[in-house]
Amino acid sequence: MLAALQARAAATARPGRVSLQLLHKGARGVRSSDARASSAVQPAQPSQPAAVSAVVQLDEAGFAVLPKELPSMRGVDFKQELDPRYAETIEVIIDGHPVQVQKGSSLIQACEQVGIQVPRFCYHERLSVAGNCRMCLVEIEKAPKPVAACAMPAAPGMKVFTNSPIVKKAREGVMEFLLANHPLDCPICDQGGECDLQDQSLFFGSDRGRTTESRRGVEDKNLGPLVKTVMTRCIHCTRCVRFATEVAGVDELGTVGRGNAMEIGTYVERMLDSEISGNIVDLCPVGALTSKPYAFTARPWELRSVESIDVLDGYGSNIRVDTRGGEVMRILPRLNEDINEEWISDKTRFAYDGLKRQRLDTPLIRPDPEMPLQPATWKDALTLVAQKFKATPGARIGAFAGPLADVESMLALKDLCNAFDSEAIHCDVPAGPLADCRAAYTLGSTIAGVEEADAVLLLSTDLKREAPLLNARLRRRVYHDGVRVASVGPRVPLTYEYEHLGDSVSQLLELANGTHPFCKVLAGAQRPLVLVGTGAYERTDARGVAWAVQKLVTSVPALIQDGWLGFGTVQPTAAAVGALDLGLTPLASSAAAGVGASDGAIAEPLGLVYLLGYDSIDLDRLSPDAFVVYQGHHGDVGAETADVVLPGSAYTEKVGTYANMEGRAQRTARAVSPPGEARDDWKILRAISELAGKPLPYAGVDGIRERLAAVAPQLADGTESIHAVSPDIAKAMLAVRASDKFDFDTKTPFASCIDNFYMTDAISRASTTMASCTKAFAK
Amino acid sequence: MRAASVQRPASRLFRTSAALSAGQGTHIHRDSAGNSESTPWEWTPESLKKIDMYLARYPDTPQGKMSAIMPLLWVAQQQTDEAHATIKAKPSYDGAFAFDSPQGSGGWVPLAAMHAIADLLGCPRMAVYEVATFFTMYNRNQQGKFHIQLCATTPCMVCGAYDILASIEKHLGIKCGETTADGTFTLTEVECLGACVNAPMVQINDYFFEDLTPQSVVKLLDDLKAGNPVKIGPQNARVHSLGPLGRTSLKSPPKGPYCRDLSQIPAN
């Protein structure tokens, strides 16, 4: 009977996204000769989104008839369209080759566009130019001395030499000065093997030193539980300082002192309180800033890397999982311009130690309600669950999918319950009344599109914690373009200036009625954006709030227009969009998270409760005779209450589809094997269906993908594209009736849906690193 | 001793810059009894007047205001000079005069004052720390009542600055970078103070004491401590910076051509 589980191991790892774009999207530099041959200097015209402009048809039940071919946002590159720089190129002569490079490039960018690597420490394409390491010195014809390529704009006809004797001598001189004070502790340095200084000293370093001076020593700084500092190794590139001030929006880091006594530090001892502070570990070109949890655990050449995606929040960051001997050693970001660029949040990066603790690795059965759970065989456990499915009437079967559930397992769960006449399949999403409208529960603007917005309204969200990288994008928009941001919700620091309009429903109603002054700002904007946190729907008056949001959204014409959907929800979990796409029932409110209370749809107390990684069960509302099955990977609250525990796989151990907050379906990859007897989640459900006598009509991963394509084609194509909702459908779905009346709770303030950024799910709750972060940072 | 002690290395390596030997130790703040985030800080009315004057000089933008970090740090340092009133400064020749208010060299900038400046200018605290640690004339640790800045750059050194230093160290029982136990004197070695002709010299708070000998500097310190009148400027018979031949140049108004008379040029 385990044949179904063991047959056809899911070895269908998706080929990783190859994205080697180093600089800008759009036109890459091409050699002139090629350019002349093909005259392909101009970037390819971006394909326009195929917007559906037909009037929406409604079927008999009143639902919109959706077009078979959904319009796709794939291929649309706003930046390319808007930035005229991409169309213009100039000719520079690099190392004797005439090449076309983008106008406005610096020399280092120009060299990169034609594939010439210039060594650098301080220059980083996403940070401002500092020009203080001097490693990128190049020679320019007629210039009296070598110039820093990162700070020198390319001019037409400029003759640049990147490999001449002068350049070599200059770089050797710079390297000698850098190494004069750098300790020779590579054998005990965590950066060893992936260190820019180490690599470049192979090319430009001398095999002996000439200094007789003693090396300087610098005191280490305490930046918190994530970033380990060995400040003597610092070469003062200031990348960390620039990242902290420009991207993360924390001003605590700076350079103190001067000359040889200069240090990077905080002056007054202070931890780096940012949700994306871990990125300075990646940015540091030497071993001054390294990962504290990863310290001394592995060397880079021992690691096997698997390209995957993160599921600990709704952002869908692209990650690289580094493993050694079946153990996840660390998680690093992977470049994806549309989502996380090259950053990831600290939870994504550091919660991996939670994958090794509190794991469920064998099936467990509670022989008697008073007794503890006992280890059992898969056969006994699955048979018991199958019997319960057969014995319980459909109306008394309820299923709940948790925040880490993948689309395949939720689909199998839904099919299984439906086969036993149960419709009560819930998901842990407080999307509430707007759960039928994809335009409402996804981020219609797309993540990258947030940077197109010119007026932003936040509702009931603490964006810095719910989606730190989205917040960083918005911050960039505010700082570079002065976009106005207003918030109705918790008054929290967002790392940029915003107008706090209040935190009560009254302000939302004023906005919806058009009487609030900020309505003028929204109405005057070309691409306004309204971002709603799911905290808005976790209230008792969620229906009224949803109505008011709909009214607000439909009252501003520019919010929904061709090519721009300026309304969206910031989903905090990776399962949310997938669950709603599959038609799982959202919980009306967190208060209703008890069993059998969702929207009053279930009258009878549940006899069989199936928890798929669902840990927010309300024990008091669970009927005492209910049989609880918990399928998941961590021994969290859900497993403690269960009568049967079925061990599943975590996101690093399976190939699972997840849709992020913008509705982009991406797949995780299997980096390590599940521990012990744990299995792929959807296969467990498939096995139950077989034992219960109603086998699901798919046995392999291809089968379930086919089924997924039939149920939710936007999740199945695996192209990582976003299927945009057409403006007409969005308008029709969001239309409100003026006659609707709701009771509003004006006393309860709008709150964020998460209290503690560092602990939001079973994995991060089991992580000791996240526990120390909670201790250090959570307020 | 109140300030952190820093040993002066025997030989001058390139890391023993004035910044390190100037009594400031490392560039990391350490809380002490009189200098922590919770130490109260109030601007005096005179300081506030000066702050208004300085703020008016810079554009009223976030960046423009940050330009005022330097003068405001100096205002804080003027405010903390407690010894100025006790120095009975006696000009050594006609035409020289004593300052009627502290000029800033005798004070220090507490952490709380840096925070007050950051709040006043609406800039990150780190921006103020960066400026305060960059410049060696901002004293970030509590100083003694009298801050002796001994010049030991080449001309003074050639004229015996280290003899003066040894004399002070012996007399006060402290080394460079240290403060006496009673909190009266802090001794630091600094780079050129621009009185090379009258070397060797020390600056104590706002006043220069030049043409010192190992004996005269001891008397000077004793007089300061006792509150006796002290002669500012050359401690010998020298007038201004005149050499042994007296005045040899600029004896009469220089011949023309002069620069244009600006008062004759109409405004705009």
Instruction: State the pLDDT confidence band at A17, using cuts at 50, 70 and 90.
Output: very low
Between CA B247 and CA B241 the distance in angstroms is 9
8 A C-beta contact, residue A291 and residue A348: no
Which of B12, B36, B61, B133 is the best substitution to test chain A (most A C-beta atoms within 10 A)?
B133
Q: Which pLDDT value is given to residue B97?
A: 85
Mean pLDDT over A261-289 rounds to 94
Measured between beta carbons, which residues in chain B are less than 8 angstroms from residue A219? 26, 28
Q: Which residue has the higher pLDDT, A457 or B25?
A: A457
Cross-chain Cβ contact B111/A255 below 8 Å: no
Q: How far is A494 from chain B (nearest CA, A)?
A: 15
8 A C-beta contact, residue A226 and residue A274: no
The angle at the Cα of A67, spanning A66 to A71, to the nearest 5 degrees, equals 110
Percent of chain B surpassing pLDDT 70: 90
Q: Which pLDDT value is given to residue A85?
A: 52
Q: Which pLDDT value is given to residue A594?
A: 41
Pairs of CB atoms within 8 A across A/B? 65
Between CA A474 and CA A486 the distance in angstroms is 12
Asked if pLDDT for residue A419 goes beyond 80, the answer is yes
Q: Which pLDDT value is given to residue A62?
A: 62
Measured between beta carbons, which residues in chain B are less than 8 angstroms from residue A260? 14-15, 17
Q: Cβ neighbours of residue B258 under 8 Å, at least 6 residues apart?
A: none
Between CA A158 and CA A101 the distance in angstroms is 11
Which tokens in the block code for residue A306? 């698997």
- What Rg do the C-alpha atoms of chain A give, in angstroms? 28
Instruction: State the pLDDT confidence band at A434, using cuts at 50, 70 and 90.
Output: confident
Q: Which pLDDT value is given to residue A42?
A: 36
Percent of chain A surpassing pLDDT 70: 86
Length of chain A: 779
Range A69-75, long-range pairs (CB < 8 A, 24+ positions): A70/A713, A70/A714, A70/A723, A70/A724, A71/A723, A71/A724, A71/A726, A72/A721, A72/A722, A72/A723, A72/A724, A73/A49, A73/A446, A73/A721, A73/A722, A73/A723, A73/A724, A74/A719, A74/A721, A74/A722, A75/A46, A75/A47
Cross-chain Cβ contact B129/A251 below 8 Å: no
- pLDDT per position as a tens digit, B26-85: 788 989 988 999 999 999 999 999 999 999 999 999 899 999 999 999 999 999 998 999
Cross-chain Cβ contact A254/B126 below 8 Å: yes
Which tokens in the block code for residue B94? 């006609």
8 A C-beta contact, residue A196 and residue A178: no
* Residue among A254, A257, A268 minimizing CB distance to B111: A268
Cross-chain Cβ contact B133/A267 below 8 Å: yes
Beta strands in A135-212 (DSSP E): 137-140, 147-148, 159-161
How far is C-alpha A379 from the chain's CA centre?
38
- pLDDT per position as a tens digit, A673-682: 999 999 999 9
Asked if pLDDT for residue A438 goes beyond 50, the answer is yes
The angle at the Cα of A7, spanning A6 to A13, to the nearest 5 degrees, equals 95
- B176 annotated ligand binder: no
- B125-134 and B111-121 helices cross at what angle (nearest 10)? 130
- What is the residue whose two structure tokens read 């299984």? A416
Asked if pLDDT for residue B2 goes beyond 80, the answer is no
Q: Which residue has the higher pLDDT, B4 or B156?
A: B156
Between CA A196 and CA A204 the distance in angstroms is 12
What sign for the dihedral angle of Cα A646, A652, A653, A655? Answer: positive
Measured between beta carbons, which residues in chain A are less than 8 angstroms from residue B124? 245, 251, 254
SS3 of residue A772 by DSSP: helix
Q: How far is A341 from chain B (nearest CA, A)?
A: 27
Cross-chain Cβ contact B19/A269 below 8 Å: no
Pairing of strands A304-309, A318-324: antiparallel
8 A C-beta contact, residue A439 and residue A726: no
Between CA A723 and CA B25 the distance in angstroms is 61
Q: What single-letter amino acid sits at A589?
A: S
Domain segments of chain B as ranges: 34-84+107-142, 144-241
Asked if pLDDT for residue A80 goes beyond 60, the answer is no
| Rounded (10°) CA dihedral A69, A75, A77, A81 | -90
**What class is the B144-241 domain?**
alpha beta
- B159 annotated ligand binder: no
Q: How far is A50 from chain B (nearest CA, A)?
A: 45
Cross-chain Cβ contact A216/B15 below 8 Å: yes
Longest dimension (CA), chain B: 62
- pLDDT per position as a tens digit, A460-478: 999 999 999 999 999 999 9
Q: B131: phi > 0 → left, psi -120 to 50 → alpha, else beta; which?
A: alpha
SS3 of residue B230 by DSSP: strand
- What is the residue whose two structure tokens read 């000769």? A33
Q: Which residue of B has its CA nearest to A249?
A: B124
Q: Which residue of B has its CA nearest to A264?
A: B27
Percent of chain B surpassing pLDDT 90: 68
Q: Which pLDDT value is given to residue A76?
A: 41
Measured between beta carbons, which residues in chain A are less than 8 angstroms from residue B20? 261
Between CA B68 and CA A713 the distance in angstroms is 61
- What is the residue whose two structure tokens read 């991996």? A352
**pTM for the full predicted model:** 0.86
Measured between beta carbons, which residues in chain A are less than 8 angstroms from residue B13? 213-214
> Which phi and psi angles does A632 have, rounded to 5°?
180, -175
Write the burial class of residue B44 (CB in 10 Å: 0-12 exposed, 13-18 middle, 19+ buried): exposed
Between CA A737 and CA A550 the distance in angstroms is 10
- B161-172 and B214-226 helices cross at what angle (nearest 10)? 40
Instruction: State the pLDDT confidence band at A596, using cuts at 50, 70 and 90.
Output: very low
Mean pLDDT over A366-372 rounds to 91
Mean pLDDT over B2-9 rounds to 44
CATH of B34-84+107-142, one of 1.10.10.1590, 3.30.1330.60, 3.20.20.370, 3.40.50.300: 1.10.10.1590
Which of A181, A258, A262 is the best substitution to test chain B (most B C-beta atoms within 10 A)?
A258
Beta strands in A111-193 (DSSP E): 137-140, 147-148, 159-161
Average pLDDT of every residue of chain A: 85
* Residue among A245, A252, A256 minimizing CB distance to B133: A256
Cross-chain Cβ contact A268/B129 below 8 Å: yes
Q: Which pLDDT value is given to residue A66?
A: 52
Q: How far is B181 from chain A (nearest CA, A)?
A: 26
Q: Which pLDDT value is given to residue B193?
A: 95
Q: What single-letter amino acid sits at A492?
A: V
Q: Which pLDDT value is given to residue A432?
A: 66
* Residue among A251, A253, A260 minimizing CB distance to B14: A260
Cross-chain Cβ contact B129/A269 below 8 Å: no
- B151 annotated ligand binder: yes
The helix (run of H) or strand (run of E) holding residue A529 is strand A528-533
- A701-711 and A407-419 helices cross at what angle (nearest 10)? 80
Cross-chain Cβ contact B27/A254 below 8 Å: no
* Residues linked to residue A424 through DSSP beta bridges, in sequence order: A398
- Give whole-number Cα distances, B155 to B152, B158, B201, B234, in Å: 8, 5, 10, 16
| Rounded (10°) CA dihedral A284, A290, A294, A298 | 70
- Give whole-number Cα distances, A244 to A261, A278, A283, in Å: 22, 10, 11
Measured between beta carbons, which residues in chain B are less than 8 angstroms from residue A252? 126
Cross-chain Cβ contact A254/B37 below 8 Å: no
- B196 annotated ligand binder: yes
Cross-chain Cβ contact B15/A258 below 8 Å: no
Percent of chain A surpassing pLDDT 90: 66
Instruction: State the pLDDT confidence band at A207, using cuts at 50, 70 and 90.
Output: confident
Quick one: which of A391, A378, A362, A421 has its CA closest to A608?
A391
Q: Which pLDDT value is given to residue A87?
A: 59
Q: Which residue of B has its CA nearest to A255?
A: B130
Q: What single-letter amino acid sits at A171?
A: R
Q: How far is B9 from chain A (nearest CA, A)?
A: 12
Which tokens in the block code for residue A648? 């599943």
* Residue among A219, A259, A260 minimizing CB distance to B28: A219
* Residues linked to residue A305 through DSSP beta bridges, in sequence order: A322
Pairing of strands A263-265, A254-256: antiparallel
Instruction: State the pLDDT confidence band at A12, using cuts at 50, 70 and 90.
Output: very low
Asked if pLDDT for residue A459 goes beyond 60, the answer is yes
SS3 of residue A197 by DSSP: helix
* Interface pTM, i.e. ipTM: 0.84
Between CA A342 and CA A105 the distance in angstroms is 21
* Residue among A213, A251, A259 minimizing CB distance to B17: A259
| H helix and E strand count, chain A | 25, 30
Asked if pLDDT for residue A634 goes beyond 60, the answer is yes
Instruction: State the pLDDT confidence band at A40, using cuts at 50, 70 and 90.
Output: very low
Instruction: State the pLDDT confidence band at B112, using cuts at 50, 70 and 90.
Output: very high
